């Protein structure tokens, strides 16, 4: 198994095939695969489908570290009784004829990535829901593929996201005698193509709407998904990787350090989470009379509930209600040229030597 970062590939076990075909179908064994993996989505915006999705998501010890003997009664007795109906209503508000935006754009990213990598099979998997990562690995193995790179759609590493995908891959290897030559992309918080994608989205928006005047109180908020502070104290590198992204983005845009306003969103439960909270930040800016607020979410490569409903609806309302005007959510991922280029940059590094 190999861990891949944006800077290097670190071998953890020998490549025993050394360029030769692995057992199984010769063509499939020679042709590598990249699995683009995102978090997942309910298959329909209904309470029953949302309940199934939340049960799997919130049962992951990487996401909720409380011991199951303590957490399970709360999950089953409170959370899954109360939240599914409200969350389903939120999903219904962003659902498209093609289904969940996250699934729609993830599939499109996979399609476009495949065009960039004609010698590689590109598959899309989800950590929770379908198609599950384990099932996708099963299908690749059955058709003879033996070289697989897992590319998380998480630019910043966290044990709650990337490590959970790695757990699934490791569990698959433990269950199977004939394993993969497996490479895992760790993260790419400051990768050139990724930072360029973020900067290009903002620059394109500024060409249409005018560049913000920071001296006049305009603001650009960079919002990341939060994690519990306890995880941060325990050594999760997520916060530092988020800050690395912001610093690289400021440099790419020619802005002074500290010009962009960093905030964290999507807090769940009573524990203390990384802050400042995005909704508190936009409310404060609105109350200050901010006439122009641009907000971008670098941690989300595909639009989803957290960007379309939480940011573009709830945070917009909070900002306007507090007295602000000119709220602009700036999408950057999905099937944009920049997002696909960022993924292609990582995929090419991951399959280096295989193609």
- Find out whether 188 and 152 touch, Cβ atoms under 8 Å: no
Which residues, including other chains, have CB under 8 Å from residue 326's CB and lie 6 or more apart?
290, 291, 292, 293
Q: Is 225 annotated as a binding residue?
A: yes
If 0-12 CB within 10 Å is exposed, 13-18 middle and 19+ buried, where does residue 19 land?
A: exposed
DSSP characters for 104-145?
HHHHHHHHHHHHH-TTSEEEEEEEESSSBHHHHHHHHHHTT-
Angle CA 38–39–45, to nearest 5 = 115
Q: Is 317 labelled a binding residue?
A: no
Question: Concatenated DSSP letters for 267-331?
Answer: --SSS-BSSSBHHHHHHHHHHTT-S-EEEE-TT-SS--IIIIIIIIIIIHHHHHHTT---EEE--
Distance of CA 79 to the CA centre of its chain: 24
Annotated binding residues, written as ranges, equal 225, 306
Annotated binding residues for Fe(2+), written as ranges, equal 225, 306
């Amino acid at each position: 198994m190999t861990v891949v970062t944006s800077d290097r590939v670190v071998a953890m076990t020998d490549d025993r095939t050394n360029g030769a075909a692995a057992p199984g179908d010769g063509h499939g064994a020679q042709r590598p695969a990249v699995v683009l993996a995102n978090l997942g989505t309910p298959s329909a915006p209904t309470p029953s489908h949302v309940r199934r999705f939340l049960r799997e998501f919130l049962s992951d010890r990487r996401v909720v570290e409380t011991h199951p003997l303590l957490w399970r009664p709360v999950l089953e007795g409170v959370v899954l009784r109360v939240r599914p109906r409200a969350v389903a209503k939120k999903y219904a508000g962003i659902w498209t004829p093609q289904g969940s935006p996250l699934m729609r754009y993830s599939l499109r990213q996979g399609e476009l990535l495949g065009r960039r990598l004609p010698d590689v099979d590109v598959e899309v998997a989800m950590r929770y829901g379908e198609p599950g990562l384990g099932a996708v690995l099963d299908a690749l193995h059955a058709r003879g593929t033996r070289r697989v790179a897992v590319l998380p759609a998480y630019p910043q590493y966290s044990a709650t996201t990337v490590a959970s995908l790695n757990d699934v891959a490791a569990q698959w290897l433990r269950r199977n005698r004939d394993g993969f030559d497996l490479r895992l992309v760790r993260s790419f918080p400051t990768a050139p193509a990724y930072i360029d994608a973020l900067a290009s989205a903002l620059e394109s928006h500024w060409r249409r709407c005018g560049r913000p005047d920071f001296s006049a109180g305009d603001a650009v908020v960079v919002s990341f998904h939060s994690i519990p502070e306890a995880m941060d104290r325990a050594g999760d590198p997520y916060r530092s990787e988020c800050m690395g992204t912001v610093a690289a983005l400021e440099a790419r845009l020619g802005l002074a350090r500290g010009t962009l306003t960093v905030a964290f969103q999507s807090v769940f439960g009573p524990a203390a989470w990384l802050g400042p909270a995005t909704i508190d930040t936009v409310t404060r800016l609105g109350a200050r009379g901010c006439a122009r607020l641009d907000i971008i979410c670098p941690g989300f490569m595909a639009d989803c509930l957290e960007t379309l409903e939480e940011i573009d609806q709830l945070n917009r309302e909070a900002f306007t209600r507090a007295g602000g005007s000119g709220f602009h959510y700036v999408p950057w991922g999905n099937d944009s040229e920049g997002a696909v280029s960022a993924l292609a940059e990582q995929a090419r590094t991951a399959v280096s030597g295989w193609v």
